[in-house]
């Protein structure tokens, strides 16, 4: 099943489970443990989850201190390309989280295993999907980056939002409203279901909070909004701290957009026949692949990664299982040859990546 299909199924399942849970929480505020929602993924491995969270929390605290010192230097040097890479890999200060060019865009010299947190490390009702609390927990866990969903409001402000119209499982007080017909102030007043405190976020706030701590993947939900979001990123000087998830057609469009030659991109692959073209596309640093395709099993994808993608200096990302993102499942992703993991179970994903990096003599 494709990554794109996984994401669709996840949100369909999430629609039912979150709405049901919201009703339970409304009646019984003490309810709502990490449960069966599809996007949460790893909720079935409670033992592994507890262990991973404990390890991730300690790591996050230590990294935050070290990264705060390095961030100013990297950005002051024009996005920290050269120095960031050397310091991060040599001294383990985590500069691969400061800038894309420090590691994500330079696989040949920085072959780290990396973890992107899908919507953060979320659990209803306290940390809803795409919430500030979920993003913060992912950073504390030790994720290298955060995957986000972006839309643009009627007054031209990029916000974190998956659906338009907003689904009722995403927001009970704003369900049915369209992001593009609302102002940023109206969107950010909407609560993320079933929380009564977490609200929709501004992309600018997410970029500020992640600076020097985690990279940010921007999945702009409407192609027509790409230009506005690129301009927003450039205006904030954040072009080396983010990358855009683009379809093959959008990758072809990128060079025609103002500033498109200054931002990084990951190409979503639905057909392995598109891989050779994407490996030569400007600004594409990584390919999002499925673990298998019709006519191309896991062994064939492994061979494609090791024989074509990595020799071209590009990275290969895939998703963990969306519902059973156990430690073993995420170890299997890296064992197949993928170097970057879109994790639905962040603590275990971080642990799996740490094991790979330590085995390769890299800072954890």
Whether residue 165 has pLDDT greater than 50 = yes
Please tell me the predicted confidence (pLDDT) of residue 210.
98
* Chain mean position to CA 286: 13
- What are the tens digits of pLDDT across the range 75-87? 333 333 333 333 3
Inform me whether the pLDDT recorded for 264 exceeds 80. yes
3-state SS assignment for residue 49: helix
Q: Single out the residue of 188, 146, 187 nearest to residue 165, CA to CA.
A: 187
Calpha distance 104→241 (Å, rounded):
10
Task: Give the pLDDT confidence of 124-157 residue by residue, as tens digits.
Answer: 888 999 999 999 999 999 999 999 999 999 999 9
Average pLDDT over residues 170-180: 97
Average pLDDT score over residue span 291-296: 97
Q: What does the alpha-carbon distance between residue 131 and residue 190 come to, in Å, rounded to a whole number?
A: 12
How many other C-beta atoms are found inside a 10 Å radius of the C-beta of residue 34? 17
* Predicted local distance difference test score (pLDDT) of residue 167: 98
Has residue 116 got a pLDDT over 50? Answer: yes
Residue 296 has pLDDT above 80, yes or no: yes
Q: Is pLDDT at 18 greater than 80 in this prediction?
A: no
Domain 3-359, classified CATH 3.20.20.190, yes or no = yes
In the prediction, which pLDDT does 364 show? 82
CB distance 314 to 284 below 8 Å: yes
Sign of the alpha-carbon torsion through 28, 33, 36, 38:
positive
pLDDT tens readout for residues 34-47: 233 333 333 333 33
Q: What is the pLDDT of residues 87-109, one digit of tens each?
A: 333 334 688 999 999 999 999 99
The residues spanned by each domain of the chain are 3-359
Q: Is the peptide bond before 218 cis (omega within 30 degrees of 0)?
A: no
CA angle (251, 149, 269) in 5-degree steps: 35
Write down the pLDDT at residue 344: 97
- pLDDT for 93 equals 60
Segment 45-63 shows an average pLDDT of: 37
**DSSP, residue by residue, 150-173:** EEE-TTS-EEE-S-SSPPTTT-TT
> b vs e for 60-74, b when ≥16 Cβ sit within 10 Å of the residue's Cβ?
beebeeebeebbeeb
Six token digits for residue 115: 């973890």
Tokens 């642990």 -> residue: 351
Percent of the chain with pLDDT over 70: 74
Of residues 199, 263, 185, the one with CA closest to residue 227: 263
Comparing 278 with 79, which gets the higher pLDDT?
A: 278
pLDDT of residue 198: 97
Helices (H), ranges, 163-294: 184-187, 203-210, 226-235, 248-253, 275-278
DSSP 8-state class, residue 305: I
What confidence category does residue 241 fall into, taking pLDDT thresholds of 50, 70 and 90? very high
Tell me: pLDDT of 74 over 70: no
User: Which pLDDT score is estimated for 124?
Assistant: 86
Examine the pLDDT at 257 and tell me if it is beyond 70: yes
Integer CA distances (angstroms), 238 to 78, 101, 190, 211, 320, in order: 11, 12, 26, 9, 28
Instruction: Give CA–CA dist 214/2, Å, rounded.
Output: 26
Main-chain phi, psi angles of 188, to 5 degrees: -75, -5
Q: How far apart, in whole angstroms, are the C-alpha atoms of residue 89 and residue 93? A: 8
The answer to whether the CB of 220 falls within 8 A of the CB of 150 is yes
């Amino acid at each position: 099943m494709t990554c794109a299909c996984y994401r669709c199924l996840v949100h369909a399942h999430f629609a039912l489970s979150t709405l049901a849970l919201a009703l339970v929480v409304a009646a019984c505020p003490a309810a709502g443990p990490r449960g069966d929602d599809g996007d949460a993924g790893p909720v079935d491995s409670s033992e592994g989850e507890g262990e991973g969270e404990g390890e991730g929390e300690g790591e996050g605290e230590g990294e935050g201190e070290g990264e705060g010192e390095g961030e100013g230097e990297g950005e002051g040097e024009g996005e920290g390309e050269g120095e960031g890479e050397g310091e991060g890999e040599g001294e383990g200060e985590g500069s691969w989280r400061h800038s894309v060019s420090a590691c994500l865009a330079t696989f040949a010299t920085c072959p780290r295993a990396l973890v992107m947190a899908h919507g953060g490390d979320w659990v209803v009702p306290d940390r809803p999907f795409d919430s500030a609390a979920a993003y913060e927990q992912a950073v504390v866990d030790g994720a290298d980056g955060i995957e986000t969903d972006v839309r643009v409001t009627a007054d031209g402000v990029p916000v974190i939002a998956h659906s338009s119209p907003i689904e009722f499982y995403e927001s009970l007080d704003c369900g049915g409203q369209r992001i593009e017909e609302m102002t940023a102030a109206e969107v950010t007043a909407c609560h993320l279901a079933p929380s009564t405190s977490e609200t929709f976020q501004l992309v600018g706030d997410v970029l500020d909070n992640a600076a020097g701590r985690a990279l940010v993947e921007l999945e702009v939900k409407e192609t027509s909004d790409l230009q506005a979001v690129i301009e927003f990123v450039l205006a904030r000087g954040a072009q080396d701290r983010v990358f855009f998830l683009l379809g093959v057609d959008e990758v072809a469009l990128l060079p025609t957009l103002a500033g498109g030659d200054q931002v990084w991109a990951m190409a979503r692959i639905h057909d392995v026949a598109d891989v050779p073209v994407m490996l030569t596309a400007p600004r594409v640093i990584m390919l999002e692949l499925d673990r298998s395709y019709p006519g191309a099993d896991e062994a064939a994808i492994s061979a494609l990664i090791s024989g074509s993608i990595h020799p071209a200096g590009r990275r290969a990302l895939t998703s963990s299982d969306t519902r059973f993102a156990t430690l073993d499942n995420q170890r299997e992703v890296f064992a197949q040859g993928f170097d970057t993991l879109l994790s639905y179970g962040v603590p275990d994903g971080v642990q799996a990546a740490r094991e790979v990096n330590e085995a390769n003599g890299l800072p954890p």
